[in-house]
Amino acid sequence: MPLYLPHFNLQDYNTLASPVFAHCFVSVHNEDELRDALLYAKKENLPLLILGGGSNIVLRDDFPGLVIHIQLFGKQIERDHADCVYVKAAAGENWQDLVEFCLDYHCWGLENLSLIPGTVGAAPIQNIGAYGVELKDVFSELTAINIQSGLPVTFTLDGCQFGYRDSIFKGALKDQYVITSVTLKLNKHPSVQTRYPALQQELAVYSADDITPQLISDCVCDIRRRKLPDPHDIPNVGSFFKNPLVSIAHLQRIQQTFADVVFYPVDDTQVKLPAGWLIERAGWKGVSEEGVAVHAHQALVLINPNRLRGDVVLQLADKIVASVQKTFGVELEQEPRVYP
Ligand code: FAD
Ligand code: NAP
């Protein structure tokens, strides 16, 4: 039976370092312990928080339920074919460890997703993405346990309904499954994705022949280390908002006042606006309020240097949302999930 710890401080378990307490906390190291914890929560009628690395959650206040910390480990090459390799990793594995494991095995596809914090099990929740690659591009299947029945289920690519920083686990199947493992289908032949300008600039000093997946990974890590605050030093949850999609007509209205608005075409009717640009132009870059701040180098990142509770961070987030709405008529959607 796993160890149930009452009144547990979660400050070291969320990258915003918010000092809130869980009514009860349990680490699960195998599926039997996970089932035990799910039964315990059901019996005691406790709300659940399934916790990975805590890098995409905002803990607003004390959590009045059971936090299940996913500590399922193990990763292996499942199948090695002529063109592709299937790699399976348990949900508690660190994402970057998996990226390095795959690079060492010379199977490619994860290089643009280097250095994203958190666990393997959380990666499908928001279909993690960076530098033009998303989890869905390399996803094969995942296993999960149904929270109500305790039964195992396998989800294929179609079943996950991946979208932009989105999946069925944030929508129709929200809070219904605990992901226990993820299997990726990786390429044996390198096919590098270099369309993001920041990556292109970083690669400009290399000749085309030198651009390998390992180099892409190294460059992505270098850019991220320079640009993003390390949560260990300056608590944060990465991008606080998703990049909004707006119609072409809306873009044209914004261009009447902001001719230099940055945008990326999505399809014939919509464009993506970088939320960081909107926040910066609305005047929030570097602004500090009540001890939390908008990062001075990347306006999409809110930082919590004083390690305050999530409610203070959310107050600043709300002001930014209202300001961007007023300035551009665009509704920003928050990326990290708020508890309770
Ligand atoms: P947690 O924060 O622990 O959980 C996030 C959500 O997933 C919660 O709702 C939780 O209940 C649920 N969950 C976690 N594990 C499971 C499971 N096994 N089964 C079911 N539900 C589960 N994200 C990107 O997409 N791209 C980036 O480039 C990126 N960069 C980042 C940079 C920084 C500096 C930081 C701090 C964050 C960044 N993120 C990025 C956000 C974050 O790293 C990812 O969303 C990551 O996948 C979260 O993993 P986690 O284990 O920390 O999840
Ligand atoms: P960036 O390179 O400065 O670009 C700013 C924004 O423009 C990004 O959000 C990106 O959208 C978009 N963009 C840039 N080039 C694009 C292109 N060629 N086509 C389509 N969209 C383009 O961004 P950054 O903040 O340094 O982040 C780099 C990458 O890491 C991004 O992909 C970002 O999503 C990811 N990241 C995510 C988090 C998180 O917490 N979710 C945190 C840090 C970094 P997209 O965001 O849609 O890619």
DSSP 318-339: HHHHHHHHHHHS----B-SEEE
User: Is-catalytic flag, 195?
Assistant: no
Given the CA of residue 228, which atom of ligand 2 is nearest to it?
Answer: 43
To test ligand 1's pocket by mutation, which of 13, 120, 125, 223 has the most ligand atoms within 8 angstroms of CB?
125
Given the CA of residue 164, which atom of ligand 2 is nearest to it?
Answer: 47
Q: What is the pLDDT of residue 61?
A: 98
Give the active site residue among 224, 239, 281, 309: 239
Q: What is the pLDDT of residue 166?
A: 96
To test ligand 2's pocket by mutation, which of 239, 241, 278 has the most ligand atoms within 8 angstroms of CB?
239
Q: What pLDDT digit, counting tens, does each position of 195-230 carry?
A: 999 999 999 999 999 999 999 999 999 999 999 999
Please give the distance, rounded to the nearest whole angstrom, from the Cα atom of residue 195 to the centre of ligand 1: 24
Give the active site residue among 18, 33, 165, 309: 165
Spatial separation of the C-alpha atoms in residues 273 and 281, rounded to whole Å: 12
> Counting every residue, how long is the chain?
340
Task: Give nearest CA residue, ligand 2 atom 21.
Answer: 264
Q: What pLDDT digit, counting tens, does each position of 168-199 carry?
A: 999 999 999 999 999 999 999 988 999 999 99
Q: What pLDDT digit, counting tens, does each position of 85-137 carry?
A: 999 999 999 999 999 999 999 999 999 999 999 999 999 999 999 999 999 99
Q: What is the pLDDT of residue 98?
A: 98
Whole-number average pLDDT of the chain: 97
- The reported pTM is 0.98
Task: Give nearest CA residue, ligand 1 atom 47.
Answer: 123
Given the CA of residue 128, which atom of ligand 2 is nearest to it?
Answer: 41
Calculate mean pLDDT across residues 9-23: 98
> What tokens were used for 14?
């969320």
Q: What is the pLDDT of residue 62?
A: 98
Burial of 329 (0-12, 13-18, 19+ CB in 10 A): exposed
Q: Which single residue is written with the structure tokens 């005691």? A: 44
Cβ 297 under 6 angstroms from ligand 2:
no
Q: What pLDDT digit, counting tens, does each position of 257-287 carry?
A: 999 999 999 999 999 999 999 999 999 999 9
Q: Pairing mode, if any, of strands 177-187 and 152-156?
A: unpaired
Nearest CA to 237 out of 58, 49, 19 is that of 58
Query: Which region among 69-73, 136-140, 207-211 has the lowest average model confidence (pLDDT)?
Result: 207-211
Q: Which single residue is written with the structure tokens 């809130």? A: 20
Please give the distance, rounded to the nearest whole angstrom, from the Cα atom of residue 190 to the centre of ligand 1: 27
> What tokens were used for 207?
């000749």
To test ligand 2's pocket by mutation, which of 170, 202, 264 has the most ligand atoms within 8 angstroms of CB?
264
